[in-house]
Structure 1
C-alpha cells in the first residue's frame, strides 16, 4: 500500500514539479527574466520584444531539451538495470553514450553537411555499436555479465571510443565542433533537431513503458522468467532497442551526459520499491526534473560562466557509483 501511495503521490506532484522546474530553467541565465515575462511570452508573444525572443528561441528549447534528455536517460538506465539485474548498469557506463559519440565524430569528419535525420541515425547506430560490443565481450568472458566486470568492460570500451573520437577530432581539426558532444552543452541545443527528435523520443518512451511489466518479470531472474513463460530473448531485444533509441537521441541532442541513468533508477527504487512497471515511468519523471534543475544549477556554480552539465552530474554520480561498487557490486541482484 505504501508503494502505491508513493507512486500515486509522484504522479500527482509530477505536473507541478515539471512546470516549476521548467519555469526555473527559463528564468536562469545572465539576462534577468521574471515570471511575468515568461507568461507574457507564452500568452502574447511579441517578436519585437527581445525578452520574449530570448525565452522562445533559447531558454524554452533548453529547458525542454533538458527535461526530455533527463527522462530518456533515466528510463534507459532503469531498463538496463532491470534487464541485466545489475545495479551498476547505465548508458554512460555501458558504452552506449560513447559509442554514439564515436560514430557522430566519424559523421562530422566525413559528412560535415549531414542533415538532422542523418545526425539522429548515426547517433542511433553508435549507441547500438557501443552496447553490442560491451555485451558481446562480456558474454565471451567468464562471469563477464557480473555487475563489476560488466561495468569495467563498459568503462574500458567507453574510454576507448572516447579517446579515439578525441584523437580523430584533433587530427581532422574538428575538435571545436565536437566539444559540444564531449561537454554536453545543453545551451547549444539545436531547436530544429529537438523538434525533429520528439516523435522518435516518444516512440522510445512508449516502447519502454510497454516493456515495463516484462522487465519486472525479467528482473526476478532468468529461471523465474522462463518458468512464467516469458520470451526472454524477445524482451531483451526490444529492451536494447528502446535503450539504443533513447540514448542515441539524447547524445544527438545534447552530447554525453553521465550518471543520470545510474542515479535516478536507484532514487526511484528507494521512493517506490522494486517493481519496474512503476520504476520506469517514475524514473522518467524524476530524471527529467533532475536534469532540468541540474542545468539551472550549472549556470550559477561559477556565475557568470556556465559549468558544463556533465560536471554537475559527475559531482553526484561518481561518489554514488563508488558507493554502489562497494555495497552492491559483487554480484547480480537477488
Structure 2
C-alpha cells in the first residue's frame, strides 16, 4: 500500500515535458542575448555616451592610452557586471524563499536579511565614523547573517520549528524591529542621511573587487540551489509530498536558508536594499515554464540579471545627469505586481 501511495505521488510530481524543456532553452538563450545587449547599453551610458562599437573595441582591443577605454574598463564594465550578478543573486534567493515557505509574497527580506543589514550599517556609521567602505561592507554582511540567524532561532523555539508560517511571521516581526532600531539609531546619532544612501540601493562606485566577490558567490549559490531543486519542487507542492518521497524537509530548508543568506547577504552588502527582484522574477518565470525548480532557478538567475541591468539603465536615464535610486526603479515594477499578487492570494482564500 505504501509503495502504491509513493507511486501515485511520483506521478503527481511535475516533470517538464520535452516542449517545456525546449521552451526553457529558447528562453534562456533569448535572455542571455538580451543581457548581452543591455550590458552594451549600460556600459555605453553615462555622462559621456560611448558607442557600442567603441565598447566592443575596448573589450577585444584594449588600448590603455585611450581615456574612453580606461573609463569603460575601470568604471562601466564593473558596474554593469555587478548589476547582472546582484540581480541574479536576489532572484535566485527569492525563488528559493518562495519554494521553502510556499508563500508567493516571499523574498529575501522575509528572514530579516535586508533589515538586519540596515541595522548593522547604522551601528557601523555610529561606531566607525572614519571606517572604510570595506568595514561597512563587512558589517552589512554580518548584519544580514545575524538577522537570518535570529529569525531561525525564534522559529526553532516555536512548536512548529522551521515551518513556512513560523518562518514568515518571525521574519516579519524581526524585520520590523530591525527597521525601527536602525531608524532610531540613525536619527539619534544624526547619521540618517548616510544611512539613507545605503537604503536607497545603488550601483555607483562598484569596482572589479565586487565582481570578484559576486562571481564565486552566485556560482556556488546556483549550484547549491540546483542540488536541492527537486526537493524544492516537492516542497512547493506540500510537505507531505516531500516526506512521502523520502526527502528530509528540515535538511532542505537548512541548505536553502544557507544559500539564501550567502546570495542575498552578499548582494545586499554590495548594492544596498534593492527590493522586489526576488518577488517578481520567480513568478514571471513560473508563468512561462511551470513549477519545476530545476528549470525555474537558472531562468530566474537570467531574468534577475536582465531586470537589474535594465533598472540600472533606467535609474541613469530618468533624471540625467543625476541618478535615481535603482530601488525606486525596481519598485515601479514590483509594487503593482505585489498588489496584484496580494489580491490574487486574497481572492483564493
TM-score normalized by the length of structure 2: 0.85
Contact 1:74 1:287 (C-alpha < 8 Å) held by counterparts: yes
Q: Is residue 299 of structure 2 the alignment partner of residue 303 of structure 1? A: no
Deviation at 1:194, TM superposition (A): 3.4
Contact 2:101 2:168 (C-alpha < 8 Å) held by counterparts: no
Tell me, in whole angstroms, the C-alpha distance in 1 between the residues paired with 2:262 and 2:226: 14
Q: Which of 280, 285, 291 in structure 2 is aligned with 1:274?
A: 291
Q: Is residue 235 of structure 2 the alignment partner of residue 218 of structure 1? A: yes
Deviation at 1:257, TM superposition (A): 0.3
Q: Is residue 33 of structure 2 the alignment partner of residue 38 of structure 1? A: no
Deviation at 1:234, TM superposition (A): 0.9
Contact 1:190 1:253 (C-alpha < 8 Å) held by counterparts: no
Gaps of 5+ in 2: 1-16
Q: Is residue 52 of structure 2 the alignment partner of residue 47 of structure 1? A: no
Deviation at 1:217, TM superposition (A): 1.9
Distance 1:279 1:101, change over 3 A: same
Distance 1:180 1:210, change over 3 A: farther
Q: Is residue 289 of structure 2 the alignment partner of residue 256 of structure 1? A: no
Output aligned runs, 1:18-29, within 5 Å: 18-29=35-46
Q: How many matched pairs?
A: 330
Contact 2:201 2:326 (C-alpha < 8 Å) held by counterparts: yes
Aligned to 2:196: 179
Q: Is residue 26 of structure 2 the alignment partner of residue 9 of structure 1? A: yes
Q: Secondary structure at the match of 1:242?
A: helix
Q: Secondary structure at the match of 1:188?
A: coil
Contact 2:88 2:218 (C-alpha < 8 Å) held by counterparts: no
Contact 2:75 2:207 (C-alpha < 8 Å) held by counterparts: no
Tell me, in whole angstroms, the C-alpha distance in 2 between the residues paired with 1:121 and 1:232: 32
Contact 1:41 1:55 (C-alpha < 8 Å) held by counterparts: yes
Aligned to 1:246: 263
Q: Which moved more, 1:177-186 or 1:103-112?
A: 103-112
Output aligned runs, 1:128-167, within 5 Å: 128-134=145-151, 140=158, 154-167=171-184
Tell me, in whole angstroms, the C-alpha distance in 2 between the residues paired with 1:203 and 1:32: 35
Aligned to 1:61: 78
Q: Secondary structure at the match of 1:33?
A: coil
Q: Which moved more, 1:231-240 or 1:94-103?
A: 94-103
Q: Which moved more, 1:156-165 or 1:24-33?
A: 156-165
Tell me, in whole angstroms, the C-alpha distance in 1 between the residues paired with 2:30 and 2:82: 21
Q: Secondary structure at the match of 1:186?
A: coil
TM-score normalized by the length of structure 1: 0.88
